[in-house]
Structure 1
């Protein structure tokens, strides 16, 4: 989260590579097996910080690797809206066979984990006490921070209510209509991200998946 600008070993901006592209490639490799499952599910972890994705594009495809095009927080928001759009396109392509949903696990942004290492490294040591105060008083304990993911992965509600392409927030609240921004519902942007991701993975590993 909001780590200093850096390129991955494959030459891709690190937050986009880690938070979105790695998940994209991993899921694509597993799809054949997932589709053989009995009412399978895919749960993608995102964040309410998707609301801070760069405006108006949401994803700056042409300048993903340009250090000066975005702040560390912009890049984080971009990666998080990418998680939601990835879920959206997965649902479009496989929603008749797979229950795909997105989950924001935190409260007041995050769960009490080591996630705050990123902004501390990119912004400076002064931010650490501030984040620790927020973490202590407002962030969710890890035990509670996993509940919404577990709901999306295991609850019978997902099947009985046919909950697909939804955006859940703590704890197990469907906030698709109230907290998901328009960029996260954009069909054209979801398709563009999918095509961009496929091409980028093919370029980096030398074949499509």
Structure 2
């Protein structure tokens, strides 16, 4: 279900995750943050833990996850921080994670991802950015649907990017089997998929009390950019250092989507700078593309994704 008016808040681009969580009580709520051992993932987890949530860091590197958990405990006083292995590019790992989850799940933050990586493929032949950023999270969310439904008012947070403006989902050749591979275009396609997932998950699951929103966290220097040169990063941001956010600021919109009462009853929306985004303008770097909110594309992506996971 969605409301008819755009969501606005008193926050802005410089607000932090701790600003967004202030006054919110998550005691008794169970949370999963994928990619929770570094970058905006750990700051998202820290803020949600500070409000009393039981937070599971779903990470590829469990040693890094345990270090992050210890750091979160040290800074928040919460000892309800768990670590579990999850490799989103490995469907067996996703299935194991789902099988090991027990009980309700109140908040799922689909945060992990890879950016502008060189062409590589999973054993199934799937392009790695699409497989990790979308299909891994799709399998995780659909696998955890019973746990989300059991929470009676669950939220899924789908971390997208302004890079979704670079490409729709190209259904005729999602896996780059015929067209030339371009790392940023492939990343953009996967980030559009994150937005479309939020649209269709809300349509399908709102009656179970599960609402999903997507977001652009902002430009933050993290391990996500390990495949991108400093020169390229500065070119993308026009060399304007003021455009970069801290990780605490970058996590703020995720925390808003995960926990703020301002988003009660709201799903299928795209946020940036802690506000619902306006429609993108041609050539612009902000806002949400019309194709990313297209309900027909969202339904088609769901069907394609389901078929891929069954193949």
- Give distance in 1, aligned partners of 2:295 and 2:237: 38
State the match for 1:181 in structure 2: 289
Question: Is 1:94 aligned to 2:196, yes or no?
Answer: no
CA RMSD of aligned residues (A): 2.2
Give the equivalent residue in structure 2 for 1:48.
162
Q: Distance in 2 between matches of 1:131 and 1:169?
A: 18
1:112–1:135 Cα contact (<8 Å) kept: no
Counterpart in the other structure of 1:198: 306
Deviation of residue 136 (structure 1)? Answer: 4.3
Q: Distance in 2 between matches of 1:176 and 1:142?
A: 24
Report the equivalent of 1:59.
169
1:2 aligns with 2:110: no
Instruction: Could you tell me which runs of 5 or more consecutive residues in structure 2 were left unpaired when the two chains were aligned.
Output: 1-114, 281-286
Equivalent residue for 2:257, pick from 136, 152, 156? 152
Q: Secondary structure at the match of 1:43?
A: strand
CA distance in structure 2 between the partners assigned to 1:169 and 1:99 by the alignment = 18
Q: CA deviation at 1:187?
A: 1.3
Change over 3 Å in CA distance of 1:116–1:157 after alignment to 2: same
**1:4 aligned counterpart, secondary structure:** coil
CA contact (8 A) 1:46 1:83 kept: yes
Q: 2:189 aligned with 1:81, yes or no?
A: no
For residues 94-124 of structure 1, give each alpha carbon's deviation from its aligned partner in whole angstroms, at most 9, with x where no partner exists.
Answer: 1232121001101xxx21212222233xxxx
Distance 1:155 1:135 in 2: 31
Larger relative contact order (CA 8 Å, sep ≥ 6)? 1
Q: Distance in 2 between matches of 1:36 and 1:188?
A: 28
CA drift of 1:130 comes to 5.2
The superposition leaves residues 47-105 of structure 1 with CA deviations (integer Å, 9 ceiling, x where unpaired) of: 0111110xxxx222332132743411111110010000011110110123212100110
Aligned partner of 2:141 among 11, 27, 37: 27
Provide the rounded CA distance (Å) in 2 between the counterparts of 1:128 and 1:51. Answer: 17
Distance 2:124 2:240 in 1: 33
Unaligned runs of 5+ in 1: 204-209
TM-score under structure 1 normalisation? 0.82
Q: Give the SS at the match of 1:2.
A: coil
Question: How many residues are aligned here?
Answer: 189
Compared with structure 1, are the counterparts of its residues 111 and 135 closer, same or farther at alpha carbon in structure 2 (3 Å cutoff)? farther
Q: How many Å separate the matches in 2 of 1:200 and 1:175?
A: 31
Offset of residue 134 of structure 1: 4.4
Contact 1:5/1:67 (<8 A) preserved: no
